Structure 1
Amino acid sequence: MELFWPDSFDEQLDRLEEEAESGDERAEAVFEYVAAEMDYLRRLSAPPAEETPTPKTVRQANRYQVWRVSHPYHHGIAVRLIVWFPHDENTAVVALFSGDKANMGDVFYDSVGSRADQIIDQWIREGEVDENGEEDI
Structure 2
Amino acid sequence: MGVIVDMPEEFFVYLDRLEEKVDGGDPHATRVLAYVTAALADLAALEEPPVAETPGLKQVRQSGRYPVWRTSHPYDEAVAVRVICWFPPGSDVVVVALFAGDKARMGDVFYNSVGPRADVAIERWIKETEGEHDE
Separation (CA, whole Å) in 2 of partners of 1:29 and 1:44: 23
Q: Tell me if 1:102 matches 2:104.
A: yes
Separation (CA, whole Å) in 1 of partners of 2:6 and 2:58: 19
Separation (CA, whole Å) in 1 of partners of 2:134 and 2:91: 11
The higher relative CO (CA closer than 8 Å, separation ≥ 6) is in 2
Pairs within 5 Å for 1:31-42: 31-42=33-44
Separation (CA, whole Å) in 2 of partners of 1:69 and 1:7: 20
> What SS class does the counterpart of residue 54 from structure 2 fall into?
coil
Q: Could you tell me which amino acid in structure 1 is paired with residue 33 of structure 2? A: F
The answer on whether the counterparts of 2:5 and 2:95 sit within 8 Å (CA) in structure 1 is yes
Give the 3 Å change call, closer, same or farther, for CA 38–128 of structure 1 in structure 2.
Answer: farther
TM-score in terms of structure 1 length: 0.90
The alpha carbon displacement at 1:33 in A equals: 0.4
The answer on whether the counterparts of 1:84 and 1:92 sit within 8 Å (CA) in structure 2 is yes
Alignment equivalent of 1:11, drawn from 10, 13, 20:
13
Q: Residue in 2 aligned with 1:28?
A: 30
Q: Residue in 1 aligned with 2:114?
A: 112
Q: Tell me if 1:45 matches 2:42.
A: no
Alignment root-mean-square deviation, CA: 1.5
- Map Cα deviations across residues 89-110 of structure 1 (whole Å, 9 max, x no partner): 4210000011111111111111
Unaligned runs of 5+ in 2: none
Separation (CA, whole Å) in 1 of partners of 2:88 and 2:66: 9
Separation (CA, whole Å) in 1 of partners of 2:101 and 2:131: 26
Separation (CA, whole Å) in 2 of partners of 1:5 and 1:98: 15
> What SS class does the counterpart of residue 68 from structure 1 fall into?
strand
The alpha carbon displacement at 1:44 in A equals: 0.3
The alpha carbon displacement at 1:5 in A equals: 0.7
Q: Residue in 2 aligned with 1:86?
A: 88
The alpha carbon displacement at 1:88 in A equals: 3.5
Segments of 4+ moved more than 3 angstroms: none
Q: Residue in 1 aligned with 2:67?
A: 65
The alpha carbon displacement at 1:128 in A equals: 4.5
Q: Residue in 2 aligned with 1:75?
A: 77
The answer on whether the counterparts of 2:5 and 2:44 sit within 8 Å (CA) in structure 1 is yes
Unaligned runs of 5+ in 1: none
Aligned-residue sequence identity (percent) comes to 51
